[in-house]
Amino acid sequence: MKTYLLIILFLFSLNNAIGQKVNDSIYEQKIYTLYSKVYKHIYTQQDSAYYYFNEINELTIKNNDFESLITSINAANKSAAHFYDLEKMKSNFKKLDSILVKNDKILQESENVIYIQNSINFDKGIYYYLLNDNDKSRKAFSTIISSIQDLKENELNLYYIDMLVTAHSFIAKTYFNDGKYDLAKEYYTKTISLLETKKADDIKKINRNYSLLAEVLKSQKKYTLSNQYFKKSLKHNLENNGSSSSIITEANHLLENYLNTKQLDSANYYLKIIKSNLVENHPRWNIFHKAKAEILQAENNYPQAEIELQTALKLIKHKWKNQPHNDIAEAYNDIGLLHTKFNNPDKALKNYNLALQQFSRNENPSTISQTSLLKISKNKAQILNVLANSSESITIVNQAIQTLDILKPSFKNNTDKLFLMEDAFPVFESGLEAIYTLYQKTKQDSLIDKAFFYTEKSKSVLLLESLLSTKANTFANIPKTITENEQLLKSKINYIEKQINISKDNKLKGELFELKNQYRSLINTIETSYKSYFDLKYNSQVISVTNVQSLLDSKDILLSYFYGNNAIYTIAVTKNSKTIHQLKIGENFSNEVIAIYQMLNNPKSNLEDLNHQSYSLYKKLIAPGLINIKQNNIIIVADGLLNYIPFSGLNIDLNKTRYLVEDYSVSYANSVTLWKQLTEKEGINTKALAFAPSFNNTHSSLLPLPNNEIEAKNVLNYFTGTALTSNQATLKNFNTESNKYGILHFATHAIINDDTPEYSYLAFQPSKTNNNLLYVSDLYNLNLKTNLVTLSACESGIGNLKRGEGFLSLARGFYFSGAASISSTLWKINDASSLSIMDAFYKNLSVGQTKDYALQKAQLSFLNTNKENALVHPYYWSGFVISGNTSPLETTNYWLWIVLTAIPVLLLLFYIKREN
């Protein structure tokens, strides 16, 4: 589809160039001749095409014909896009920008201005699409749509209609890649509507978009609606001698949809269509046999399903002449999965081993092969656990983790996020299961160290996932040229690897080798010069248990959790001890956690029921780690749904109500590795900057926070600084002032979106023209260096992924920007109680208490004050949490409070002495 669109646009560029009204007919003839030569090489010989484009460029420059020069460069970009020459496109954009700046006034008066601007934006849209920068790609295509929609009906020629259709289609594709299926569906629907009304005779393109829309609906598991569009496209192809490949692909989609809805008769019908479109020696017979095997599996016909998969494997081996290939590995993996499903672990293991052998001789593995390697390793580790071969399972998990470290820089979009959760994350659970089984037999302390390593590596995966979710494209302290070059090299490497996987072209292998050398050199530069960015995206090192113990105080206990599909693992570490615990979980456990969360953030929930259920959670998750432990300061490294639970608010006594906060101070961290980095950070000062927007006008849908201005000003009772309220609490003031302060307090809405974490934001004072929202992706471009960030009005909900992505994304963004610790809330808490607890929190901080202890004392004070009324409900106080570096804030007020405390003591001593 992409190539077809490029040809259309090139031909239009050619016609436009030839049609330029130039007085010199000799000049016009020369241009025409050169374009004719270009046309012969445009998609076949890259160097020849570029040679003739340069000839055209020189000729247009000599004749001062800048419009034809722009047209030539635009046409050259179509050729560059075809050859995936992103460097050439980038260079051409610089030339175009220079030409446009110099000739802006003339250009605006030209009758071709819209054509020129749209052509440039189209190429930029393609360029960013190839770079996987979907936001910038959408921006370019959206600009095209806006300009064409402003045209009158009689101005809409064939070119503009094609451009409009193409822009909608590409935007749909970018949303699909981002996993935003509803938006993708909206744009594909608009594309189809445009085609049906403006180009009703272009049946081929209409049906292609039917198929694309059907794929979106399939991804949403809307199988019935998906089938309607696949059937339309398939019918067209069958009736109009469409390509066998298209027919097979669409029939296979339909077959899979019907299998997902357990309609086997319909699945068999489309299997027959696949078969009827396969001639002898057709290269896609393996698809037929694999599809037939899937139907046989659904029918529980294990032996016949194996025969079909073996046939598919034989065909794939023949295709690649029995040489090692990723396709062969995938075929063995399919057979292994079949044996796993039908409880034949020995045969499954044999086929997983045969699959892994396909990679043993690959000295320079591609991203594609490494991805398959990781997936197959996951399957092998799981089957080894079934066979109770814990030691070998640990070995294969270690190898899989090494593969994941290699893959880490390649992850970039929603598909990669799904892979991380479906294939990478279960590797760690298999490893932990094997370790725990072995530990029960041997009680070797070193196994706990290995288990801790696995939990930390899993946290690294989740933090990577949260980075992907934020769509952060700019980063503080690193030049844009570095990140652009990084993005360009990764995209080019990925493209060539895909080509090699199809063709085994030796010339491409040489080009790939050179590109990878360039990429490694760039990463070395990043590691040396931009350490924080390197740690964020490339560093695979995690902290060890021994290192953790050296950092812990004698009163600290660290509880690190891994929330798997079958069990939760807890590793408890103190300065002198370490233990591991396993909690087997069933299907209902997640619902139990969600129910507790919902009761905690509902002030009207039954307190007795809540305390009973939270005690049950405490006994399962916390109590085992506290056996024989005297420490009173808990550091929680949560995982999955546990990110939503305030551990301080859990009841710890079966016979009466006693909350964890009454015996322990509690703090949190996203990972222990990150916690270590944060403990090494020091704030620049203790000056406080507090924000309290009003939200009382009609420019925002957010509700007012009645006490937030008082709350912001109260911070200044204990720390010197500034409170920006109402119209002063703007995003602009935040951007210009925030890096001067060591404490940032936001008495404003913090909206945490777990479904689409990039839409998480902090709200500043809204205006007529600007909502003034600071999105999580913006945090990566800040340089705060703050000791404490407080978000006192967070609003959240459990997202579809149920891993606390919003919390992870927001915290990671603040930490990257320089924050050492974050005080936040797990839900929107009553404004009055927030005012009370925040006031006590800052008061405690000002006398030198650690942040976790300061929060504990603030919550206990609130509890004691309200123990006889409804405010004792955990909703009002337990949602406040502190994460990161909990060290005390250095403050000049500290000595003031010592003096104020000492005066009464001195007076009392003086009085006693006088009496004696």
CATH number at 773 reads 3.40.50
Q: In terms of domains, do 454 and 351 share one?
A: no
Phi-psi bin for 848: left (phi > 0), alpha (psi -120 to 50), beta?
A: left
Asked if residue 868 is part of any domain, the answer here is: yes
Residue that finishes a domain, picked among 458, 476, 494: 476
Spatial distance between the Cα atoms of 722 and 407, rounded to a whole number of angstroms: 46
Range of the domain at 432: 365-476
- Edge-first strand order for the sheet with 773-775 is 773-775, 761-763, 750-751, 794-795
| Residue of higher predicted confidence among 35 and 256 | 256
pLDDT (tens digit, 9 = 90+) per residue, 185-209?
999 999 999 999 888 888 888 999 9
Evaluate if residue 697 carries a pLDDT over 80: no
Asked if residue 546 is part of any domain, the answer here is: no
Evaluate if residue 22 carries a pLDDT over 50: no
pTM of the model as a whole? 0.86
pLDDT (tens digit, 9 = 90+) per residue, 466-511?
677 677 777 777 888 898 888 899 888 888 888 887 776 677 888 8
**Long-range contacts: 487-490, Cβ < 8 Å, 24+?**
487/131, 487/132, 487/133, 488/86, 488/87, 488/90, 488/131, 489/515, 489/518, 489/519, 489/522, 490/409, 490/410, 490/412, 490/519
| Residue of higher predicted confidence among 83 and 899 | 83
| Mean pLDDT, residues 388-401 | 96
- Sign of the alpha-carbon dihedral angle for 717, 722, 726, 731: negative
With bands split at pLDDT 50, 70 and 90, how would you rate the model's confidence at 1?
very low
Asked if residue 153 is part of any domain, the answer here is: no
Taking every pair of C-alpha atoms in the chain, what is the biggest distance, in angstroms? Answer: 119
Q: How many domains does the chain have?
A: 5
With bands split at pLDDT 50, 70 and 90, how would you rate the model's confidence at 906?
low
Q: In terms of domains, do 257 and 320 share one?
A: no
With bands split at pLDDT 50, 70 and 90, how would you rate the model's confidence at 24?
low
Strand, coil or helix: 682: coil
Q: In terms of domains, do 643 and 692 share one?
A: no
Q: In terms of domains, do 579 and 615 share one?
A: yes
| Mean pLDDT, residues 232-261 | 94
Residue that finishes a domain, picked among 364, 382, 414: 364
Spatial distance between the Cα atoms of 166 and 171, rounded to a whole number of angstroms: 9
Q: In terms of domains, do 712 and 623 share one?
A: no
Evaluate if residue 916 carries a pLDDT over 70: no
Question: Residue 784: its pLDDT value, please?
Answer: 87
Q: In terms of domains, do 714 and 736 share one?
A: yes
Evaluate if residue 789 carries a pLDDT over 80: yes
Q: From start to end of 674-749, where are the E strands?
A: 688-692, 721-725, 743-746
Look up residue 787 and give its DSSP letter.
Answer: S
pLDDT (tens digit, 9 = 90+) per residue, 583-609?
999 889 999 999 999 999 999 999 999
Q: In terms of domains, do 577 and 662 share one?
A: yes
Spatial distance between the Cα atoms of 412 and 490, rounded to a whole number of angstroms: 10
Question: Residue 409: its pLDDT value, please?
Answer: 81
Residue that finishes a domain, picked among 274, 301, 323: 274
Whether the Cβ atoms of residue 288 and residue 270 lie closer than 8 Å to each other:
no
The torsion angles phi and psi of 881, rounded to 5 degrees, stand at -135, 155
| Mean pLDDT, residues 80-91 | 93
Q: In terms of domains, do 340 and 249 share one?
A: no
The torsion angles phi and psi of 526, rounded to 5 degrees, stand at -65, -45
* Residue indicated by tokens 């037999």: 441
pLDDT (tens digit, 9 = 90+) per residue, 92-143?
999 999 999 988 888 888 888 888 899 999 999 999 999 888 889 999 999 9
Average model confidence (pLDDT) for the chain?
88
The percent of residues above 90 in pLDDT, for the chain, comes to 60
- For 552, 664, 697, the CA distances from 635, given in Å and listed in that order, are 10, 10, 41
Angle at 37 between CA 31 and CA 39, to 5 degrees: 100
Spatial distance between the Cα atoms of 51 and 71, rounded to a whole number of angstroms: 16
pLDDT (tens digit, 9 = 90+) per residue, 264-321?
999 999 999 999 999 988 999 999 999 999 999 999 999 999 999 999 999 999 999 9
Q: In terms of domains, do 657 and 692 share one?
A: no
Question: Residue 2: its pLDDT value, please?
Answer: 38
Type of residue at 627 = I
- Edge-first strand order for the sheet with 567-573 is 578-584, 567-573, 556-563, 633-637, 665-668, 880-884, 821-825, 788-791, 743-746, 688-692, 721-725
Spatial distance between the Cα atoms of 119 and 122, rounded to a whole number of angstroms: 5
pLDDT (tens digit, 9 = 90+) per residue, 538-564?
888 999 999 999 999 999 999 999 999
Evaluate if residue 10 carries a pLDDT over 50: no
Asked if residue 48 is part of any domain, the answer here is: no
Question: Residue 478: its pLDDT value, please?
Answer: 86
In angstroms, how far is CA 36 from the centroid of its own chain? 46
In angstroms, how far is CA 886 from the centroid of its own chain? 28
Asked if residue 545 is part of any domain, the answer here is: no
Q: In terms of domains, do 843 and 784 share one?
A: yes
Question: Residue 5: its pLDDT value, please?
Answer: 40
Whether the Cβ atoms of residue 172 and residue 188 lie closer than 8 Å to each other:
yes
Evaluate if residue 365 carries a pLDDT over 50: yes
Asked if residue 509 is part of any domain, the answer here is: no
Evaluate if residue 717 carries a pLDDT over 50: yes
Strand, coil or helix: 847: coil
Q: In terms of domains, do 789 and 879 share one?
A: yes
CB-based burial of residue 402 (10 Å sphere; 0-12 exposed, 13-18 middle, 19+ buried)?
Answer: middle
Asked if residue 57 is part of any domain, the answer here is: no
Asked if residue 754 is part of any domain, the answer here is: yes
Q: In terms of domains, do 283 and 360 share one?
A: yes
pLDDT (tens digit, 9 = 90+) per residue, 614-660?
999 999 999 999 988 888 999 999 998 999 999 999 999 988 999 99
CATH number at 222 reads 1.25.40.10
- Min mean pLDDT across 534-543, 675-684, 900-909 is at 900-909
